[in-house]
Amino acid sequence: MLMAYKYRLYPNVEQRIYFAKCFGCVRFIYNQMLSDKIEYYKQTKKTLHNTPAQYKKEFEWLKEVDSLALANAQLNLQTAYKNFFRSPETGFPKFKSKKTHNYSYTTNNKGGNIYVSDRYIKLPKIGLVRLKKHRDFDGLIKSVTISRKPSGKYYVSVLVKRNEIEKLPKSECEVGIDLGLKDFAILSNEEKIGNPKYLSKSESRLRKLQKDLSRCQKGSKNRNKCRIKVAKQHEKIANQRKDFLNKLSKRLICENQTICLENLKIKEMMSNKQISKSVADVSWSEFVRQLEYKAQWYGREIVKISTWFPSSQTCSCCGYVNKKIKDTSIREWTCPNCHENHDRDINAAINILNEGLRIRTAGTAEIA
């Protein structure tokens, strides 16, 4: 099993210069190979199979950086092509821009040329770079990705091949989860899990900083300072959110043997601009991803039910389908058939659980 561990890096000046060269070379080789492929295809209608090594004569400075970093850029380009041919809606490979302020390169461990000690990581060509090791890991390092965020901070993500995690003892509990906007998640056991307050606090601070940035004159020193502040705040929010989602998914996986969810068509929802911000904010897709891989590690089961299942409109007591509930402003309702009172979201979560258990027994479930 592969796992990634991310650490903050504190490179010295010389190392920062080296990293900048790597980021630049990786971007350069990616763009150069892409543009040559496009040109070749235009002229011959055939695919050009080019490699970074072919460019080292003409662009000698490519030799100064880690050749595995260049090889990984080539792999990334190949993957982008493959993805495009497999599902054209992902779009044709794009040129990498300098302007994102998001830079990275990946290199591989070959015969122990990368290792992590208590305070340092050893990297090819550059040697020991100081890092903050806030947690340990076991296993063999496969590759590392060094990145520089728009905030100016450096990180390393260490990909490690680990032994299997010990499965958790079986649990008797099963839960249905309705993912919402007001509350982040509503469980069939009537628990409502709100979006954490610190996130909305951080987000309102971000909005203020963005406003400051928009007032700064383009190209001014002040503007760059503001840009870094905005980037730092973005990074903070992303970390806080990931932390919240990790803790919640871990808890739900520990507590429950089976977790039933709606199969969200996040991509389609994202295309609807109005709700896209909220959807992105509450990070449903990341949450589902975490639940799925943790379920696999710990021996739990995720059952996804169809997007078209009327989870909100169905009475969880008698099965009556109330079309009026399509109106999402209705938060509470009484079933006209059995007169049961329902909280909209809890009722939906119970239905999701029941439907999940039904399809699992029927053996037609999409099991992650």
- Catalytic residue numbers, as ranges: 178, 262, 345
Report the nearest approach of Zn ion to the CB of residue 330 (Å). Answer: 15
Q: Which is closer to Zn ion, CB of 73 or CB of 315?
A: 315
d(CA 26, CA 59): 13
Report the nearest approach of Zn ion to the CB of residue 182 (Å). Answer: 24
End-to-end CA separation in angstroms for the chain = 16
CB distance 102 to 150 below 8 Å: yes
Q: Which is closer to Zn ion, CB of 19 or CB of 333?
A: 333
d(CA 286, CA 320): 33
Return all residues near 358 (Cβ < 8 A) that are at least 6 apart.
Answer: none
In this structure, the number of other CB atoms found within 10 A of the CB of residue 14 comes to 10
Which of the 8 DSSP states describes residue 314?
Answer: B
Report the nearest approach of Zn ion to the CB of residue 315 (Å). Answer: 3
Q: Which is closer to Zn ion, CB of 11 or CB of 176?
A: 176
d(CA 70, CA 55): 11
Report the nearest approach of Zn ion to the CB of residue 80 (Å). Answer: 51
Q: Which is closer to Zn ion, CB of 121 or CB of 335?
A: 335
* 157: enclosing H helix or E strand: strand 154-161
Return all residues near 284 (Cβ < 8 A) that are at least 6 apart.
Answer: 179, 264, 266
Q: Which is closer to Zn ion, CB of 304 or CB of 342?
A: 342
Residues near Zn ion (CB under 5 A) are: 315, 317-318, 320, 335, 337-338
Which residues are registered as beta bridge partners of 236?
none
Report the candidate in 348, 6, 11, 367 with the shortest Cα–Cα distance to residue 190: 348
